[in-house]
Structure 1
Amino acid sequence: MTTRLHLLSLVAGAFIAATTHLAFAAGSAFDLSPDQKDRVRAEKNEKAIEAVSKSFKFVSDGKLTIGLHPSNPPLSTYASDATTVVGFDVDLAQLVADSLGRELVLVPVAWADWPLGLESGKFDAVISNVTVTEQRKEKFDFSTYRKDELGYYVKADSAIKAIKEPKDIAGLKVITDAGTNQEKILLAWDKENVAKGLKPIEVQYYDDDAVSTLAIQSGRADAVFSVNATQAYKAAVSGKTKLVGTVSGGWPITAEVAVTTRKGSGAADGVTAALNAVIADGKYKKVLDRWNLGSEAIDKATTNPPGLPKS
C-alpha cells in the first residue's frame, strides 16, 4: 500500500532543520572551509595530455573549465564563505586539471542548463553526478569515475541489519523520492514481493528533508532509500543513521557516473587516462574516502561504456 504523507509541522521542521544545520557545520569529518588545505593534488600526466585530441579547443588557454551544479554535500556545495564551491566533484575536477597540466576553473550551473552549456562551449567538461545513459551518449562522451549508487539508511540503533534484496523490505515503511529511479526500483521490489505473497511496503514521501529525518528518528518510518552519496554524508556528520544496503541506480543494470564532454570533441580519452592514473596511484581513493564515498569506487575508468537504456 502506498501513502503520500506531507507532514507540515512548522515547529518540528524548523527545529530539525536548525539542528541539522548545526550538525553539518560542526562535522569535523568534512572540511567545508573555502581554503581546502587537505585537498588531494595530482602530478602532470604527459600520457593523459597526449590522449586529448589536438583538435580539442579548451575554453581558455592553460585552464580546464568545469561546469558543475552545487547542490548537496558531499558531491558539491558552497563552502562556509557561501561563495567557494567544495566537495567530491570539485576534488575530482582538481585531479583531472592537475593531470592535464591546467588550472582549474569552476562554473556553477543549474542542473537543467548543463547540457546546453556544454554543447555551446561554455565548459570543457561537466562533473556533476551525470549518469551514463544511451540517450545522453547521442550528444556527449563519457569518462566514468564513480558508481551510481542508491542507499538504504536506517536509524543508528535500528534492528534492521541489512537490506540486500526485495524480500528484505517486505512490510517496512520506506521513505523515498517521488519521480526518481529510487522510487521506480522500490516499487518494483514491492511488486515482486506482493506477487510472492510477502507483506507490501508503505512508501512515504516528504517535501522537507527535516521532516523526513524526524520520521526516521521517531520510528514513523523504518528506512530511507535515496541517493547514497548524500545519505552517507548525513550519516557521517550526524551519527544518527547507518547504511544497511546499496543498490545500483540503474537496477537491475549497473550504472556509473562520468565526466561529460562534447560528443566527438576528442577530450574523453585524455580524461579517462587521467582518471585511470589517479586510480592506480591511490589519489582517487583518497578523494573518495575524504568525502565518505569509498563504497562507490570503480576499479577502472572507461570511455563511453554501455549506458542505461532508453526508456
Structure 2
Amino acid sequence: MKQKNILSVKNLKKIYAGNQAKDNYALNDLNLDVKEGEIFGLLGPNGAGKTTFINILAGTVVKTAGMVNVWGFDLDKNPRQVRASVGIVPQEVNLDPFFSPRKLLELQAGLYGVKEKDRITDTILKLVSLEKQANSYARSLSGGMKRRLLMAKALVHQPPIVFLDEPTAGVDVELRQNLWRNVRLLNDLGVTIILTTHYLEEAEEMCDRIAILNKGNIVALDSTKNLLDRIQTKKVIFKTDKIIDIKDEDIDSLKVISKMGTEICVSYEKSKVCIEDLINLIKKNNVKIIDISTDDGDLEDVFLRLIKN
C-alpha cells in the first residue's frame, strides 16, 4: 500500500531582506514530501533553516514564495486548517509556572477551540506519563517532566503531524531515551513525526528518512539506511601477538590512524579494498591476529562530507 503524502513543500523560499547587494536566504527552493505515519528527520547545522521551516508552518513566519500543503490543505488558502493539522514542540521550555499540567492542557485546548466534551486531557497526560503530576504546579516539575508537558501541549487538538524542534537539546542520556520512547508511542498511534535535531545518533536511532539541510538548501534526502550506505570509509582495529609495521602506502586508500603497542587502527575505502587484503598484509609480517573489531562509521561522516561539499 502506497503511503500518501501528509506534507508537500514545493520551491519554498524565505528571504530576509538584507542590504541591497545581498539578501539573506533562510530557505532556498526547498522541495520535500513527508509520508503519513513516518518519523522524518530534518538535520542541519545551526542556521541551516530548520526552525524557519517549522515557523512557516506554525504561522509565525511568512514565506516569501513556494507552495506548502499539509494534510490536503494549502497554506495560502487554508492557513487555519494548516495550523490545526500541526502540533509543535518548541526547543525552549515556555510554561506558566503557576498552572498545573491539567490546567495548561485545558487552556491550550480552549485556545484551539476544542469543545469540552471533545477534550482528551487525561489520555494525553497518561501518554506522556504525567498523570500523577496532573495537579501540581508546573514550576515543581523536573526538567524531563517539563519537556513531556510541552509534548502534551502540542497534542491537545489531536494533530496528524507533530514537529519536535531539537527535543533533546541539553538533555541527559536517560531523559533522551525516555523522550524517544514517548515519540515512538505517538508514532505507533499513527501520528507523523518530524524531528529537527543536530544529534546525529538521535536521527540514526529514530528516523525512517532524513533530509539534510545546509544554508537553506537540501543537500541530501534519503532513507536512513541508504544514507549510511553512502559511507565509503571503514575503520578496523587489529590486535596482534607482536608489534607490526604497516604504512599507508602498503595498500591503496589505506590510512594508519593510530598504533599502540600490539594494537593498530586503520581506515580504508570499501570500494577499493576488501578486508582479506588487509588480513593478508598483516599475516605477511609473521604475526597472529588475536582480535579484529570494525566500525562502519555513522551519519556524522555523511553529514560532514555533504556539508563540506
Is the TM value for this pair above 0.5?
no
In which range does the TM-score fall when normalised by the shorter chain?
under 0.3
TM-score w.r.t. length of structure 2: 0.26
TM-score for both structures, normalised by structure 1: 0.26
